[in-house]
């Protein structure tokens, strides 16, 4: 995929949320201020004098924002790092860590409001049917979903909740054009229509629009174009409320599981979450807090916070205040265990570097071994970039779901 889509879209629009890597990001032009450039032309001697004096005058000082953030990271000792060595100890850790994670996410509503489901459209695509639905996740918030049901296969089916990442939202994972019609071309973009792939593999599939993408954007983003999301204003507002965009999206995914439980075609004991990039974030976090998820598939996300979220510029929807005081990203795998988790990473993913992914996967293997279920963690490296692969993922789902 290109760097113009996904989590880095906001960089191209000038959003400076998060920590910007001082080494620079591929495809992002350097900032330039014409009002500062002109005086430099008329004061060349002064500029040279200043530049030549700078190394000695500032020797020993610490001016690099990224290096400061990394030094703060290195000084941390997360209070809830996974350290259990037995399944019983792992269970006790999960009880404490899960409560803390929910607190860091901003908490969830105390009651589940009525879903108020409405079917907007039903279409037959030969091998499967597709219902477009709308339902409420909170009294003041609704979401759009597409329920895809294979015509073949025994009832009750295993189901997958698919959540999209940055980009156009549901159209990217359903293979739809900007008018909502099926595209003839496949394997488009980094998401490669993964909701369609799920139904084609025989799973009842619920593709859910994440907040601030697609149909759930604000008016300014809708005016700007189909690939422009409204993550930045909404995620930053969430922080002012003492909540997080990650928490809002996880609650939506949990309500999607509530909806699946109402479908007679679905086996509620066999539900998975699947997502790439920003969808991978939601897939992992939902499985971490909701034990109804039997299997989680996480693509183009699993890493260490140090190597990616702290070191490289990301959309503000990635940031959960204080989370690193408690745990690293790989510790979240311990909240999914002893249920199944599969993660995949592209060797050439430039925003979730492969070295960080390999470190995180090694930690996750240790966590699953300590939890007594080493075979329930799967990891695959593919030769692509920031994109889905899903070859090993579907093999894993076939065995574990």
Q: What is the pLDDT of residues 102-112, one digit of tens each?
A: 999 999 999 99
Residue 341 above 60 pLDDT? Answer: yes
Q: What is the pTM of this model?
A: 0.87
367: Cβ contacts below 8 Å, ≥ 6 apart:
82, 90, 330, 331, 333, 334, 337, 377
| 351 found inside a domain | yes
CATH code, domain carrying 383: 3.40.50.1820
More confident of the two residues 18 and 186: 186
Can you give the pLDDT at residue 60? 87
Average pLDDT of the residues in 175-198: 94
Residue 334 token pair: 């311990």
What is the rounded CA–CA span in Å between residue 49 and residue 71?
31
Residue 5 above 80 pLDDT? Answer: no
What is the rounded CA–CA span in Å between residue 228 and residue 245?
17
Can you give the pLDDT at residue 54? 58
If one counts the domains in the chain, the total is 1
What is the rounded CA–CA span in Å between residue 229 and residue 11?
12
| 315 found inside a domain | yes
Place of tokens 């219902």: 131
SS3 159: strand
95-99, 180-184, 203-207, 267-271: which has the minimum mean pLDDT? Answer: 180-184
More confident of the two residues 2 and 77: 77
Can you give the pLDDT at residue 53? 52
Residue 181 above 80 pLDDT? Answer: yes
Residue 114 above 50 pLDDT? Answer: yes
Can you give the pLDDT at residue 55? 64
Beta strand ranges found along 216-292 (DSSP E): 266-276
Q: What is the pLDDT of residues 44-88, one digit of tens each?
A: 444 444 455 556 789 889 999 999 999 999 999 999 999 999 999
Residues 331, 371: contact at Cβ < 8 Å?
Answer: no
Average pLDDT of the residues in 182-207: 96
Residue 145 token pair: 């979903």
What is the rounded CA–CA span in Å between residue 375 and residue 341?
10
Residue 93 above 80 pLDDT? Answer: yes
Residue 250 above 60 pLDDT? Answer: yes
Residue 215 above 50 pLDDT? Answer: yes
Q: Which one of 6-15, 40-49, 283-292 scores highest in mean pLDDT?
A: 283-292
Residue 34 above 70 pLDDT? Answer: no
| 58 found inside a domain | no
Closest CA to 299 of 208, 196, 170, 385: 385
> What percentage of the chain exceeds 70 in pLDDT?
86
What is the rounded CA–CA span in Å between residue 256 and residue 339?
19
Average pLDDT of the residues in 37-48: 41
Q: What angle do the packed helices 278-289 and 245-260 form, to 10 degrees?
A: 70
Tally of CB atoms within 10 A around 11: 21
In this structure, what DSSP letter does residue 176 have? B
Count Cβ atoms within 10 A of the Cβ of residue 29 and give its class: 0-12 exposed, 13-18 middle, 19 or more buried.
exposed
Can you give the pLDDT at residue 56? 79
> What percentage of the chain exceeds 90 in pLDDT?
83
Residues 365, 331: contact at Cβ < 8 Å?
Answer: no
In this structure, what DSSP letter does residue 184 have? S
Determine the structural domain holding residue 358 and report its residue range.
Answer: 73-400
Mean pLDDT for the chain overall: 89
Can you give the pLDDT at residue 179? 86
- C-alpha separations of 399 from 55, 156, 370 in Å: 60, 17, 22
| 165 found inside a domain | yes
What is the rounded CA–CA span in Å between residue 110 and residue 396?
35
């Amino acid at each position: 995929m290109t760097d113009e889509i996904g989590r880095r879209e906001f960089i191209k629009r000038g959003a400076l949320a998060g920590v910007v890597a001082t080494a620079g990001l591929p495809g992002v032009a350097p900032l330039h201020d014409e009002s500062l450039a002109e005086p430099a032309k008329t004061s060349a001697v002064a500029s040279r004098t200043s530049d030549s004096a700078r190394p000695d005058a500032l020797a020993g000082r610490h001016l690099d924002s990224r290096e400061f953030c990394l030094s703060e990271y290195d000084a941390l000792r997360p209070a809830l790092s996974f350290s259990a060595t037995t399944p019983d100890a792992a269970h006790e850790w999960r009880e404490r860590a899960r409560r803390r994670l929910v607190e860091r996410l901003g908490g969830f509503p105390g009651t589940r409001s009525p879903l108020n489901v409405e079917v907007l459209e039903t279409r037959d695509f030969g091998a499967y049917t597709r219902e477009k639905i709308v339902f409420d996740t909170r009294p003041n918030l609704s979401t759009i979903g597409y329920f895809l049901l294979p015509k073949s296969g025994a009832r009750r089916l295993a189901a997958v909740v698919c959540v999209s990442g940055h980009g156009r939202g549901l159209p990217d994972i359903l293979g739809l054009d900007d008018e909502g019609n099926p595209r003839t071309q496949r394997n488009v973009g980094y998401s490669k229509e993964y909701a369609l792939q799920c139904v084609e593999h025989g799973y009842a599939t619920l593709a859910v629009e994440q907040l601030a993408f697609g149909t759930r954007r604000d008016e300014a983003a809708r005016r700007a174009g189909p690939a422009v999301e409204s993550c930045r204003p909404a995620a930053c507002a969430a922080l002012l409320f003492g909540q997080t965009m990650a928490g809002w999206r996880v609650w939506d995914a949990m309500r999607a599981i509530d909806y699946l439980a109402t479908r007679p075609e679905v086996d509620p004991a066999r539900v998975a979450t699947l997502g790439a990039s920003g969808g991978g974030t939601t897939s992992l976090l939902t499985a971490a807090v909701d034990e109804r998820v039997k299997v989680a598939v996480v693509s183009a996300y699993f890493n260490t916070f140090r190597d990616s979220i702290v070191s490289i510029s990301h959309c503000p929807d990635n940031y959960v205040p204080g989370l690193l005081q408690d745990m690293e990203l790989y510790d979240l795998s311990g909240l999914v265990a002893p249920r199944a988790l599969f993660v995949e990473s592209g060797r050439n993913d430039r925003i979730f570097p492969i070295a960080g992914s390999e470190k995180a996967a090694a930690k996750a293997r240790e966590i699953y071994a300590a939890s007594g279920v080493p075979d329930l963690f799967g990891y695959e490296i593919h030769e692509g970039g920031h994109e889905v692969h899903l070859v090993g993922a579907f093999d894993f789902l076939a065995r574990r779901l």
